[in-house]
Amino acid sequence: MSQLNRRRFLKTSAAAASAVMAAPAIGRAGQSANEKLGVAIVGVNGRGGEHINEFLNDERTEIRVIVDVDEAVANRRCDDIEKKQGLRPKPVSDMRRAFEDNAIDLVSTATPNHWHALTGIWAMQAGKDAYVEKPVCHNVYEGTALIAAARKYGRMCQVGTQCRSSKAVIEAVAFMRNGGIGEVKFARGLCYKRRKSIGARGDYAIPANVNFDMWSGPATLTDPKCTREKFHYDWHWQRHYGNGDLGNQGPHQTDVARWGLGIDTHPSTILTYGGRLGYQAERNDPNYVDGGDTGNTEVSIYDYGDKCMVFETRGLSVDDSDDEELNTLFQSKSGNKVGVVFYGTEGTLVQVSYEHCLVFDKDMKVA
């Protein structure tokens, strides 16, 4: 594959997404049960480390390529993997090099959100199966393109909504399906989790080891290039690259809520209100402008006609809450409250953690 300049890179990316939108599905070749699956992991500075651990613990797979735009991170991960699996993966900064490699069968990606969909599309175009971290895409259009790509190229594309594999959540959904809390038409997903300000918006240096053009990829370039103090992770709170907790924590809770409500369609309407609030008061500086622009206080209402789902983000202090209902359901007045509440005609069911659910009767007593 020839090298692409940034302008052509973006044009090619857009064309790839457009091409798969109207593409028909085709069949796929099988993989020998006696061969190890070759894995390429894209984006390994943060969440990608968990991907590494999972594949190292799966005897069916072998990590053969590590992709990261930070050369130092890629080499450090490759050194660690070599100690555990014997084979040292090949470090590369351009994911397209991994997709060209015939030794790669599947691609697992934990890049920033703005790269998720295109990574999956390119991987499937190259004949690889893909595991894409949540959120599966940065916007609805990208998600539709991913589905079309999977159908056209006959590939598997799995999303990191691992609550679907939680024994507690599986049992909770089955309990509701069997009428455990009566008729259920309303669910609230919650991310009441303290998120501090990320520092003043400014002009910050790109880390020396980072290939910023590859990191930025399909996102528009800004001037200055980096406006946040902490380059890694805090991209979550800038819309060019992340989605705030609506796209960080939210996919888990909204997925469980939809699952529990028995919904497999898009909502007819969505209403969202909120903002990035409180940091000027927190810093006692009325002129302070935070580097983030996603909502830290936000409510999204998803209307499905006869059913409704809400997702709430509260990123300021979550201690000493006056919300008696949620204090009862989560059995605490302080600390994070991250989960889903299902309201039924005969009781309430709450997912209080990834592995723990509670049922309350109509008198708000644990059933």
pLDDT at 33: 52
Is 146 found in the same domain as 264?
no
pLDDT at 32: 53
Torsion angle of C-alpha atoms 303, 305, 308, 310, degrees rounded to 10: 0
CATH number, domain with residue 20? 3.40.50.720
pLDDT at 34: 60
Is 131 found in the same domain as 17?
yes
Residue 208 forms part of a structural domain: no
Is 171 found in the same domain as 155?
no
CATH number, domain with residue 248? 3.30.360.10
Q: Which residues contact 255 (CB under 8 A, 6 or more apart)?
A: 161, 163, 164
Closest by Cα among 132, 133, 88, 106 to 28: 106
Is 241 found in the same domain as 105?
no
Is 304 found in the same domain as 191?
yes
Nearest-5° Cα angle at 41, 40 to 44:
150
Q: How many domains does the chain have?
A: 2
**Phi and psi, residue 178, nearest 5°:** -90, 15
Is 189 found in the same domain as 259?
yes
Residue-range definition of the domain harbouring residue 279:
165-200+234-360
Is 104 found in the same domain as 54?
yes
Closest by Cα among 47, 199, 178 to 109: 47
Residue 261 forms part of a structural domain: yes
pLDDT at 117: 96
Is 127 found in the same domain as 249?
no
Residue 145 forms part of a structural domain: yes
pLDDT at 280: 95
Q: Which residues contact 198 (CB under 8 A, 6 or more apart)?
A: 228, 229, 230, 234, 237, 290, 291, 292
Using only C-alpha atoms, the chain has a radius of gyration, in whole angstroms, of 22
Residue 217 forms part of a structural domain: no
Q: What pTM does this model have?
A: 0.87
Q: Where are the alpha helices (DSSP H) in 223-323?
A: 245-248, 250-261, 279-282
Is 267 found in the same domain as 242?
yes
pLDDT at 50: 95
Residue 211 forms part of a structural domain: no
Residue the block writes with tokens 């600390």 = 335
CA distance 149 to 345: 42
Is 173 found in the same domain as 311?
yes
Q: Outline where DSSP puts E strands in 240-325.
A: 269-275, 297-303, 308-314
pLDDT at 14: 41
Is 67 found in the same domain as 97?
yes
Residue 367 forms part of a structural domain: no
CA distance 70 to 209: 5
DSSP-assigned letter for residue 269: E
Question: Which residues in the chain land under pLDDT 50?
Answer: 1-30
